[in-house]
Chain A
Amino acid sequence: MNYWKAVFAIAKKDVISELRNREIISSVLLFAVLTLIIFHFAFTADQKTILSLAPGMLWVAFAFSGVLSINRAFISEKEDNCMEGLLASPVSRDAIFLGKAIGSIVFMLIIEIVVFPVFTLLYNVSVINPIVILVTLLATIGFVSIGILFSALAVNTRAREMVLPILFLPTVVPLIIAAVSATSVILDGGKFSDITQYMLIIVAFDIIFVTVPFILFRYIVEE
């Protein structure tokens, strides 16, 4: 009981704290939308080509704005020197990991909620589809979970803004490829049964990307 109370308290604190810092949320959202606008002007292609490029463009926007938001997960603890306060409290390290991950997933979902309609408006491709949303949600869980581990690792390095994407993006490539492929099939008129193999890959990576940080997190945040 106390475990989950602590997990949700950490997640809630992170979300409130980040939303109050309007500079962060607005710059991350602006970055995601700008990425889509740049692609819009870069690719002056017909609708069929746009449809084939759409999932990739969508995930480029998610991935790069996601890196920015995941980077924040521990910077706020570092700026306020609060990490030791968390470590000294009677909360297990994996509860801290889960709280941080849930907080960042919520933050990333906010980005996705904004990006989806903007994308639909710019490219005239409706990505607001229950299966696309499910694919995005599942991929976000794995993406953020492993990102939190790398964020905790990178936060104490001098060039943390550089270190995180260098370590993190190559690791999540298989997950992004599976999400892009699944989204592509659905936007092309496919059904859920057509993306089963991609969904299995996403779920498998979710399990790995949640379990591994859950176990390793304590070794990274302690001395």
Chain B
Amino acid sequence: MSYAIECKDLTKRFGDFKALKNVNLSVDKNRILAILGHNGAGKSTLIRVLSTIMHPTEGKVFIDGKELKEDDTLLRSKIGLLSHNSYLYSNLSAKENLKFYSSLYNLKDPDKRIDEILKKVNLYDRRNDRVGTYSRGMTQRLSLARALLHQPSILLLDEPETGLDRDSMELLWEIVRTDDTERTVIFTSHNFQSTVKICDEFIIMKKGSVVHRQDNNGITESDLEKIYSEVNEGKK
């Protein structure tokens, strides 16, 4: 059986700086993987490479066993991405934004799906308001709706909790967990509390490399903090 995502000797260079160094990572289907690490560890670069926004300098990425090529539109349709940026147009309403993305993803019966996903993120009543008038939390919820719109089998979330209050955070994770589609989720986070609650397994990155990988197995937040500190201090 093929992995949902597999990276082989993945390296990403920016000039002389190596943001990713020979990353080897495989994620089984329908698993939730958390990526932890300090700022600059390479978490966001890894997400950007997996989402096809960036191309690796060396190495290969496989999605569902197929190698990701530069202009592979079919594989890109399997991926949903929630980034630091919302990728939403402030001059358009929530519904218009989702309608636009539904055309790019060639959705069948987009109106039904748009209404369904807007209800799920509690924005149905504000669907005709321009996104420029939304709060940070509402924008992030709509951004999640955009990422889930085409029911991707792989969902990539880059620090999805940034700027969200506790209620919005809980809603975000509830939507990710309860959405009907079976999917593999990879997310980056600095929040140990939600990480231990959500993930099936986690990796810790340091200076562009994956230095630790572990199954969740009911780990507590304090255990995770301890492991994280030890790994970053080089004790583990």
Question: Which residues of B sit under 8 angstroms from A13, Cβ to Cβ?
Answer: 89, 92, 96, 100
Partner of A80, one of B52, B89, B96, B104: B89
B54 interface residue (CB < 8 Å to A): yes
Chain B facing A: main interface SS = loop
Determine if B103 and A84 form an interchain contact, defined as CB atoms under 8 angstroms apart: no
Q: Which residues in window 19-67 of B have CB below 8 A to A?
A: 51-55
Contact with B along A1-23 (1 / 0, CB 8 A): 11001101110010011001100
Determine if A88 and B76 form an interchain contact, defined as CB atoms under 8 angstroms apart: yes
Of A90-98, A148-156, A166-174, A199-207, the one with at least 4 CB within 8 A of chain B: A90-98
Q: How far is B74's CA from A101's CA once the two chains are assembled, in angstroms? A: 24
A193 interface residue (CB < 8 Å to B): no
Determine if A9 and B71 form an interchain contact, defined as CB atoms under 8 angstroms apart: no
Chain A facing B: main interface SS = helix
Interface size on B, residues (CB 8 A): 30
Of B77-85, B198-206, B221-229, the one with at least 4 CB within 8 A of chain A: B77-85
Interface size class of A (residues with CB under 8 A): 20 to 34
A218 interface residue (CB < 8 Å to B): yes
Determine if B104 and A84 form an interchain contact, defined as CB atoms under 8 angstroms apart: no
Tell me how far the C-beta of A84 lies from the nearest C-beta in chain B, rounded to whole angstroms: 5
Contact with B along A73-98 (1 / 0, CB 8 A): 00010011110111111111100000
A-B contact pairs, 22 of them (CB 8 A): A6-B104, A10-B104, A13-B92, A16-B92, A20-B91, A79-B90, A80-B90, A81-B86, A82-B85, A82-B88, A82-B89, A85-B81, A85-B87, A87-B52, A88-B52, A88-B53, A88-B81, A89-B101, A90-B73, A90-B77, A222-B55, A222-B70
Binding site for A on B (CB under 8 A): 51-55, 70-71, 73-74, 76-77, 79, 81, 83, 85-92, 96, 100-101, 103-106, 146
